[in-house]
Structure 1
Amino acid sequence: MKDYTNYTTSDLILDDSFRRWVLKNPPDESNFWKEWLTANPGQSENVAIARQFVQNMHQAHELLTEEEIQHELSQLTKAREVKEIAFTPVLNRISWLKQAMAAVVVLGLAGILYYTIQTKLNPPAAYELRKSQWGEALVEIENEGTGQKTVDLPDGSQVTLFPKSRLSYPKAFASAQRAVNLSGGAFFNVTKNPKRPFLVYANELVTKVLGTSFTIRAFDKDAKVEVIVKTGKVSVFSAKEAGAETNAPVLSGLVLTPNQQVVFDRKELNMKKSLVSLPEPIAPETQKAAFTFTNTPVNEAFDKLSNAYGVTIVHDTSVLKNCEISAEFTDESFYEQLDLICKAIDARYGTVDAQIVIYSKGCSTN
């Protein structure tokens, strides 16, 4: 078996096995290249470029003429600002495979290099790149309308796809995991299955869950990628660092709980975890986080608020042991309730690592 470890884009294009995989996808070739890609993730960009080139050549073989090859080479030469490239006519009316191969040889030094340079300067969207890497028949749903679109997945999970968004996934999920590919925004309500993690690939992030509901916003042209949790827990990884952790039936990485979010800055390449701007009760929608406190210990009030919204409120129970609160909350938001409680006991709060921290000197017993 050949050692493809150091193969370049042009090496892949000229390889018989690689072209059979791209054009015919026979089982033995498909299995080999999928395993090889898994073992050599650093080659994914070369593979994506080579696949696209082979497919384009295949689609255009009947129209390809010597004159067109010369014209294309001329255009590529100008684009690369190369003064001179030798060109020897090699095409006659031969079979399409030989024609395509000859074209690859002719354009290999100019066209492939130019295409590679352009791809690095304007990299293909992560969504398209992953579709190419997965290399199997995928179901693709696109929401071209102005309203939301519901998508039912093979495992019973449901996705609400936002406008101008796309979702692709296998017809049947693998036995070890359930993976989908997202471009745009969507709300996921995932069927619980601890033995088969559910993975959402969206731009530079991978979101892993065992069963929960959450929102992802990952539009190709946006500067940031957001993951917002409604119920349950999710873990978020950089796509480059996910590795084998995505297959494990446990949550690791950056773990988010209800009303928490992570924002990935695509320019600075960093993730920031925080609370959402408007936390919602995690109880069923028919219930409200409504409280009536009558001379209630403030420690108890904080605990009830924390449990209702799934937000950790860090407070020193010994310092607040003499503090009580009398109030009735109905339509107030989480932060409004927090403000009123803190004002009543002359305290303040801050947000640290997606948690609320209460600062207080305590209450007098008089």
Structure 2
Amino acid sequence: MMDYKDFQLEHFLTDSFFISWVKKPDTASEHFWLNWLQNNPEKEELITEARKIILKSRYKYMYQPTEQDYLQVLEKIHQRNYSSNHRYTKPKINWYMLSAAAVIVILLAVTVILNPFQNETSIVQEKSVPQKIIRSVPNGKKLQFNLPDGSQVKINSGSTLWYMSDYNNPSRDVYLKGEAFFDVTPNPEKPFKVHVDKIVTKVLGTAFNIRAYDDDHNISVSVAEGKVSVYNNENNKVVPEISSGNMAIYKADIGSFEEQEVDIEKVIAWKNNTIVLEKASCKEVFEKLEKWYGVKFITKEDLGITGKFNGKFHDTSLKDVLTGLDFSSQIDFELKNDTVWCSKKDLPMK
């Protein structure tokens, strides 16, 4: 597969594989380009611009031959019918030559159409169907990028965010499953909305975090700067504006909201590559580390751990985290490839 790292706008606009993905994405092209963007987030704006041009435009340039062009084509056809030592005289135009010339001119015109980026290319706008742009982040990874309006997003492990290719026209809507932090570019005329199932978080320009993993059961919206409003799009239940340092929690089981103060630095520690464990059960610790490092925890037996775990790890390898947990618990950890085997320690007899 071609290396696209050094591609500029004009290269993407003429690359058949890229154009095919934009126009008619399939499983293979979708997998390739989403993974490529994940590994090359600095190309996000360039790819977005290339997609816009391809989706909204088609190129048409018809070559109109001059009388001199016809004569040159006819002359070449005539010369092929004479030996090299035959004295040249200007041929009479006949229907055979005219037909041959017409074929050549048509071929020239088709060539120009298929190669749209000529100096005299004209762009004809056409309506296109908006495409879904998906950013899916597997366990063990995180992704940071800018939306077309300049708003910054950081997506946590095991999360998916998507929006339409006509984002910001007429509205700014994104859809989330998992966890993400948003730093939104202000635009009073176009509110920014994050949709999580039937829950909508609406802002004009602020910074906030949303956590909505399937296994959390609840949806939490924590505000780092400014204010946000949260409402249920199904029954129009609304939480009064949530201000900085506060969290709105939607309790899915009872279908209602509650608000509470929160240590925002702990909530958004993940985006700064910091793991915070605070009164976490053994199960919660394993689930968090599985997402964070992209591994699987397997217990060989009932560990019987009832205590809670506390800790803070910044830019720490899984091996070092397990070493720290080993000292503070009765669990032995054995890391093999992407699997962590857990067993109860054999404590010495007293």
Q: Shorter-chain TM-score: what band?
A: 0.3 to 0.5
- TM-score, structure 2 length as denominator? 0.37
In proportion to residue count, which structure has more strand?
2
Q: Which has the higher contact order (CA 8 A, sep 6+)?
A: 2
* TM-score, length-scaled by structure 1: 0.36
Q: Which has the higher Rg, Structure 1 or Structure 2?
A: 2
